[in-house]
Amino acid sequence: MEQTVANSAEITKINENKPLLNTSQQIEENDTQLKYEEADVVRADNSNAIIAGEETLDSSSENKVTSLDRDEPKSKGNSLWVILSSFVIIGVLICVYFLQRQSTKFLTKSGNIGAAAMQEKTTLSEQIITKTSAVTNTPTIQKTFATYPPIKASFYPSEKITTRNASNISQLVRIGNGTIEEIAYSPDGSIIAVATSIGIFLYDSKMLQVQSYFAEDIYIDSIAFSPDGQVLASGSGDGTIRLWDAANGSLLHTLEGHTNLVRSVAFSPDGQVLASGSWDNTIRLWDAANGSLLDTLEGHTNGVKSVAFSPDGQVLASGSYDGTVRLWDAADGSLLDTLEGHTDWVNSVAFSPDGQVLASASDDGTVRLWVAANGSLLDTLEGHTDYSVNSVAFSPDGQVLASGSWDGTGRLWNAANGSMLDTLEGHTNYVLSVAFAPDGRVLASGSDDGTVRLWQVADGRLLNTLEGHASGVNSLAFSPDGQVLTSGSWDGTIRLWQAADGRLLNTLEGHTSGVKSVAFSHDGQVLASWSSDGTLRLWGTP
């Protein structure tokens, strides 16, 4: 009876929007509908019928038809899922709790028993820091070397690098911290200063270990020692110059005033004045003792690329991207002369050993010689075929000037009158570097063709072609006694050659990118190489 009432209610709801029929038609349709519904109920499963009956009773009380609704079973399934998920989460939390308890017990065994877990963790951290401090007074260096650990040398080489022992040369130490921009030996050769993208490192050249690390996180572009070796000057990308105590790395003065990158710094020969050249188009002169600004030298219309003092310290020369060279009175900063003539950037300026002649090399393919005293043009050294002159060097006696160009030639010039002595032809690509032997009799040239050529300065005759590098030769250096020539190449290797006959003595491998520069220590016992892989490596006899 109750089932019949529910079905009647359902039928009424379904048909409530239909047009009204007469009474007999309604009764007939209702009877037919009831028959179908009762037949469905009989065929249904007993359990399903009971559930359907219970749902119908609930729906009848609320005046809703839900006998065929499936939302209720879904709701029950969702509830079961929530319950199971809750148990899983609770189980995980319990496991984490017990693991923490076990970890705390483990840590407590080596710490203060009974202390809280957080106290134990704090104590452990303090112990680690204390241990690090015991190893070194500069934890930052230890952290930096974690990525590039240097190879410690057990002792400083006792022998000079010569033709006799060159085959035994091996790596003493690898120095790699940030991107290396410049390296400099102190005047007495006891300290190696390394300017990098993350600061300055000072190394003991005997023990090959870090003495100090400073200018942390400052990008250093240029460095220079004072003549007495007591002060190190640095120029950086933030436009400041800093003076440091070379003995302990403490900051002495910060020289502010430039508004752009400081590309070049140079001390006067007596060490009293520091000159800085910047991309803000100015040169500034500073009192090296107290860091005060002495003068601002204005006149260049583009960035200053290089600055150099004359040997007597009275004149300062500056080369600029504006194509001019300017001579300044180092005492009062007054402009002595503007040397015009170059039609492109001035890449470098150099005084002759006696200070009487100034040479300038330019991207216009010429070298110009000027009288340092009055700035008058001695000569324009033309011959390079409209390509950049990359390097110039005076012979030790100052009588000959060598130039290397992208035209693939080296040229020798009479420094006194500017006449061309010889054209050194043979390279098949850019000449990237030139270097005189200590006695001035031999000139070495390195080229992008991968070869080194040795020339007799007296007559320009080719003595030898040193082959072996697989890429361009960027840098050359003779040992102090002139017996050994070293070459650094883009192929990542350094080669040692016997200067007398060009025989290959050794190939030093280790750099993972091109070698930018090579240099011997003052005593000739250590060879330094600087690479674009961000490392400086020192080589010597083990």
Of 54-68, 133-147, 309-323, the one with minimum mean pLDDT is: 133-147
Per-residue confidence (pLDDT) for residue 232, from 0 to 100: 92
Tokens of 306: 């290089």
Rounded mean pLDDT of 404-415?
Answer: 84
| pLDDT tens, position by position, 187-204 | 888 888 988 888 898 888
Residues paired with 339 in a beta bridge: 325
Stretch 278-305: mean pLDDT:
90
Distance between CA atoms of residues 120 and 126, nearest Å: 10
Count of residues in the chain: 542
Lowest mean pLDDT, pick from 6-10, 16-20, 129-133, 252-256: 129-133
For range 416-437, the mean pLDDT: 86
Contacts of 435 (CB under 8 A, 6+ apart): 393, 443, 444, 476, 477, 478
- Give me the pLDDT at residue 29, please: 47
Determine the pLDDT at residue 162.
Answer: 86
pLDDT, tens digit, 9 for 90 and up, residues 477-498:
999 999 999 999 999 999 999 9
Task: Return the beta strands (E) in 406-534 as ranges.
Answer: 410-414, 420-424, 431-436, 442-447, 452-456, 462-466, 473-478, 484-489, 494-498, 504-508, 515-520, 527-531
Q: pLDDT value at position 112?
A: 36
User: In this prediction, what percent of the chain has a pLDDT beyond 90?
Assistant: 17
The reported pLDDT for the residue numbered 79 is 61
The lowest-confidence range among 161-175, 186-200, 241-255 is 161-175
Per-residue model confidence (pLDDT) at position 135: 31
Q: Is the pLDDT of residue 64 over 70?
A: no
What does the alpha-carbon distance between residue 166 and residue 162 come to, in Å, rounded to a whole number? 6
Residue 210 has pLDDT above 50, yes or no: yes
What is the distance between the alpha carbons of residues 441 and 438, in angstroms, rounded to a whole number?
8
122 φ, ψ (degrees, to nearest 5)? -65, -45
**pLDDT surpasses 80 at 115:** no
- Tell me how far apart the alpha carbons of residues 405 and 403 are, in angstroms, rounded to a whole number: 7
Contacts of 68 (CB under 8 A, 6+ apart): none
Give the mean pLDDT of 420-445.
88
Rounded to whole angstroms, the Cα distance separating 362 from 126 reads 58
Residue 1 C-beta-side C-alpha neighbours within 13 Å: 0
Band (474; pLDDT cuts 50, 70, 90): confident
Predicted pLDDT at 47? 42
Predicted confidence at residue 39, as pLDDT, reads 44
Do 466 and 454 contact (CB within 8 A), yes or no? Answer: yes
For residue range 89-114, list pLDDT tens digits in order. 776 666 555 554 444 333 333 333 33
Distance CA 197, CA 220 (A): 6
Q: What is the pLDDT of residue 479?
A: 93
Judged against a pLDDT cut of 60, whether residue 537 lies above it is answered with yes
Residue 148 has pLDDT above 70, yes or no: no
When comparing pLDDT for 517 and 52, which is higher? 517
Residue 357's pLDDT is 87
Distances (CA, A) of 19 to 7, 11, 12, 16: 20, 14, 12, 8
To the nearest 10°, report the CA torsion of 15, 18, 22, 24.
Answer: -30
For a pLDDT cut of 70, what percent of the chain falls above it? 69
As a whole number, the mean pLDDT across the chain is: 74
Q: What is the pLDDT of residue 470?
A: 92
pLDDT for the residue 87: 67
Average pLDDT over residues 519-534: 81
Contacts for 97 with CB less than 8 Å, ≥ 6 apart: none
Given this model, what pLDDT does residue 24 score? 43
The verdict on pTM exceeding 0.75 is no
Minimum mean pLDDT range among 24-33, 75-84, 235-244, 307-316: 24-33
Tens digits of residue pLDDT in 326-364: 999 888 888 988 988 888 888 778 888 888 888 888 888
131 has a pLDDT exceeding 50: no
